[in-house]
Structures are given as C-alpha cells and as structure tokens.
Amino acid sequence: QSALTQPRSVSGSRGQSVTISCTGTSSDVGGYNYVSWYQQHPGRAPKLMIYDVSERPSGVPDRFSGSKSANTASLTISGLQAEDEADYYCCSYAGSFYVFGTGTKVTVL
Amino acid sequence: QAQLVQSGAEVKKPGASVKVSCKPSGYTFTSYGLTWVRQAPGQGLEWMGWISAYYGSTIYAQKFQDRVTLTTDTSTSTAYMDLRSLGFDDTAVYYCARGSGRHLDYWGQGTLVTVSS
C-alpha cells in the first residue's frame, strides 16, 4: 500500500496552466477509473475537486480538469488564479482500500 | 448540505488510546459510509479505514489493522475512531469524511491528537 507519486511542487503565473501528475500501478490508478483529487489550504480540511478521474462536483470551477492514461492520472488547472495556491492530493481506489498521493504544492507566481 | 462535526483536540501519553467522534448532519446517516484519514504535521494524507454506517462493516488499511477500530452508533448518528497503543508518530490531525461512490465529498474539520510524555 505505497503512496501514489506526485511532484513535490509545481508553479505557474496567474492565467497560465499547470498539470500535476499522480503515478501509481495497475493495482490502483491503472486498474480502476476511481481517481479523485483534493485541494487543501493551510489549516483547512481537504476539498473534493475531481472524482472518477474527470468528473467535477458542482461548485468547482471548470478550469479544473482531470484525466488518466495507463497508471498515471493528471489534474490540470487552467487559467491559474491566486486562490488556487494550495496543496493537492490524488487518491485512488485500490480494490477494497484507498491510497493517497504524496501531495503537490501549487504556487502561483 | 452535509456537515461533519468532530470532537475536540486530545493530548495523550504514549501507550494510551484515543477515541475521536464524528457527527454528520444534513443527510441520512445510514445512507453513506465514512472514511477516516489522518495527516501528520507537515505531511500528506493517509487513508486509515472505512465503515459502512448501515451495516457496520469495516475495511482497515494494513498499517492500522491491529490498532484501530471504527464504529458507528445509529441511535445518535455518530461515528467513532478508536486508536490504541499510541506512539509519538501518531501525532496528527484525524479527519472523518463522507464516502460517496469512490470519493470523499464532505469532510469534518479535523481533530488534532497530540501524543506527548
């Protein structure tokens, strides 16, 4: 039950796009279309941003999008805004249990 | 709008146990499962386990299998996470979250558990 691998940090200027990768194995990310993404601001609880690889909950801006190819899922933030600066975690179903990613800090320059 | 309210911060000595409560509102308690996640200071999220609020069945992460017990009380619509044999590395914020499908759509505010001698 190893954590999924994410880059430690990514950055971009306001208005630009950034993509966060989430790499697992065929037992988790690659085996199921059940990848979700969570945004966490300092001192706050995580917030669901994407579920089932690419579905967006109501209220989440459409500049957030998700995708998956083989054992790697990705979260793209288009038109980066100041409030998007936060930590982001992926999470995958792994056949009865779940595993989170290592987390990525997004910095808006 | 669902809301999950957790119990307050705890300070425990090594070897002790802690029981954190989670009281959802805004939806039918038994219609969703509840997941527990923890986050050590400055670290990432860690999945601990899941409980069906309807059946009471549980799934635990292998790491916590021998030390954690998840329960629910349907009479009070409250979920509990009991962690035993605490060590310093159990110092963390513990979250409960509602499971909807294969994702977590509503989260509690978190409960800080500090293990200190």
Q: Do A45 and B109 touch (CB under 8 A)?
A: yes
Chain B environment of A89 (Cβ under 8 Å):
44-45
Q: How far is it, in rounded angstroms, from Cα A29 to Cα A60?
A: 23
Residues B96-112: tens digit of each pLDDT? 999 977 999 999 999 99
pLDDT of res. B19: 98
Residues B45-85: tens digit of each pLDDT? 999 999 999 999 999 999 999 999 999 999 999 999 999 99
Chain A environment of B99 (Cβ under 8 Å):
none
Q: How far is A82 from chain B (nearest CA, A)?
A: 22
Residues A59-98: tens digit of each pLDDT? 999 999 999 999 999 999 999 999 999 999 999 999 989 9
Residues B22-43: tens digit of each pLDDT? 999 999 999 999 999 999 999 9
Q: Do B45 and A91 touch (CB under 8 A)?
A: yes
**What is the distance, to the nearest Å, from the Cα of residue A106 to the centroid of all Cα atoms in its chain?**
11
**A5 burial via Cβ count (<10 Å: 0-12, 13-18, 19+):** middle
Residue B86 main-chain phi, psi, to 5 deg? -65, 140
Is the backbone of residue B53 left (phi > 0), alpha (psi -120 to 50) or beta? alpha
Is the backbone of residue B89 left (phi > 0), alpha (psi -120 to 50) or beta? alpha
Q: How far is it, in rounded angstroms, from Cα A51 to Cα A91?
A: 9
Question: Which amino acid, one-letter code, is at A90?
Answer: C
